[in-house]
Amino acid sequence: PDEHPESLDGGAPLIALPPCTVCSRPKPPRTHHCRTCNRCVLDMDHHCVFLDRCVGRHNFRFFLAFLLWVAVACAFVLYFCLSLLQLRIRHAFWIPHVDGTSGSFGGRT
């Protein structure tokens, strides 16, 4: 495939578009050049270091799905950490009876 196509969809030529000041390729409107990827990205939001790519028009929904799953994973870990903490607190205050029968919380019978 041609690296510098004459048109996007066989219609108007790209020569009428202004060139990017960094890569000298035709630059459509709402396009920004990413210095990390060294390419122009349409509707660029930011360059994500976790995904190692730019977040723009074509992958924004995948980035939002990534954020959703990170939030779900954090909630999952938080729930189980709090459950473990609750069990450890209960175990710390459990006082067994001297005769070996079941004990009680806080020494009260």
Beta strands in the chain (DSSP E): 31-34, 39-42, 46-48, 53-55, 94-95, 104-105
Q: Distance (Å, rounded) from C-alpha 24 to C-alpha 2?
A: 16
- Indicate which residue of 23, 34, 48, 74 is catalytic: 48
- Give CA–CA dist 84/92, Å, rounded: 12
Q: Is 54 a catalytic residue?
A: no
**Would you name the residues annotated as active-site residues?**
48
